[in-house]
Amino acid sequence: MQIGALLGCVEMIRSGTTSFHDLFYWEDEVARAVRESGMRGFLSWVTLDEAFTTQHGSPVRNADAFVAKQKGDPLVTPSVGVQGVYAASEETYAKAKEIAERRDVRLHTHLAETRGEVEAHRTKTGLRPVEWLEKIGFLGDRVTAAHCVWVTMNEVRALARCGTSVAHCPVSNMKLASGGVAPVPEMIDQGVVVGLGTDSPISNNGMDVFADMKVTALLHKATRWDARVMSAQTVLDLATIQAARALHVEREIGSIEVGKRADLAVVSLKGAHTTPFYPETVIGHLVYSGRGSDVQATIVDGQILMSGGVVRTVDEADVIARAQETARELFEA
């Protein structure tokens, strides 16, 4: 687990990502990788009903212990996750919220990712997932909900009313054939804070946010038949300052300003694919022409994690070799 997390950190560092939000089991291993690589990790230990889990012990108690152990770390910001309405009861959601409030940390959950999830929950409870989570009192400004593909305008308004932020993961949604397109323009119009996510290497195959920025812009333009939808500036904001706002850390990171943490990606626009370059078109270049491989340096809190094409905090070749060997052992056993 730790080597896989470290491999993901290396890939993100290489493509200029300085911070990431994660939801999984074994977040203590992900925390180790965060500290070793020097990245900034917002890590949610996932909870779900014990009947559905493969975790040892109680997922809720595991989450509480994880938050208690990691809180106060300069690079690791712990939080409590909930797998989703298909694996967590009202009791589990309530317990997760209680921990988050008692520990003063955030909450993260998968929400309305597929039509099957929505219809199954409506059949079971009479309510769509967003409606149900609002009714039981889970939604609020502590919560970031991933996906939110299958949501109605009433649910969009509920997310805005509750102050719940959204992690938009378009490449993952398309790869998994979730169907539909998350109504991000409507979310933004209604005041919902939306950040951009890759979802994971499992459901995306890449951690390059530059690639996902371009897909985000094209997806919404194509499905709306409107090239003015989701401008380059809007999409860049989803990957930077809006993502920081989604996690309530916009006063510290997310933009280059005096007084904020020195979290920076230095990008070269001298490649054939970004030429000709004009300063007035820099945002469009980053979103439509930029690639993760254009990143020359990645800096977190003033520490140089990569420069000159070399990752400085870990031995990249060793991480790759260990990851390949681990994969071979798992799949050839």
DSSP 234-285: HHHHHHTHHHHHHTT-TTTSSS--TTS---EEEE---SGGG-S--GGGHHHI
Across residues 103-113, what is the average pLDDT?
Answer: 98
Q: pLDDT tier at 55 (50, 70, 90 boundaries)?
A: confident
Q: What mean pLDDT is predicted for residues 178-184?
A: 93
| pTM to 2 decimal places | 0.95
Q: CATH fold of 2-316, please? A: TIM Barrel (3.20.20)
Domain limits of the chain? 2-316
What pLDDT score was predicted for residue 333? Answer: 61
Name the β-bridge partners of 74.
Answer: none
Radius of gyration of the chain from its Cα atoms, rounded to whole angstroms: 20
pLDDT of residue 39: 98
Confidence at residue 311, expressed as pLDDT on a 0 to 100 scale: 98
- Condensed to tens digits (0 to 9), the pLDDT of residues 306-323 reads 999 899 999 999 999 999
Beta-strand ranges (E) seen in the chain are 19-24, 40-47, 76-82, 107-111, 143-147, 165-168, 194-196, 264-267, 295-300, 303-307, 310-311
Q: Looking at residues 181-185, what average pLDDT do you find?
A: 97
What is the rounded average pLDDT of the residues 129-148? 98
Q: How far apart are CA 261 and CA 257, in angstroms?
A: 8
In tens, the pLDDT along 243-292 reads 999 999 999 999 999 999 999 999 999 999 999 989 999 999 999 999 99
315 SS3 class:
coil
The predicted model gives 190-201 an average pLDDT of 95
pLDDT confidence bin for 91, thresholds 50/70/90:
very high
- Count Cβ neighbours within 10 Å for each residue of 236-255 and write b for 16 or more, e otherwise: bbbbbbbbbbbbebbeebbe
3-class secondary structure, 193? coil
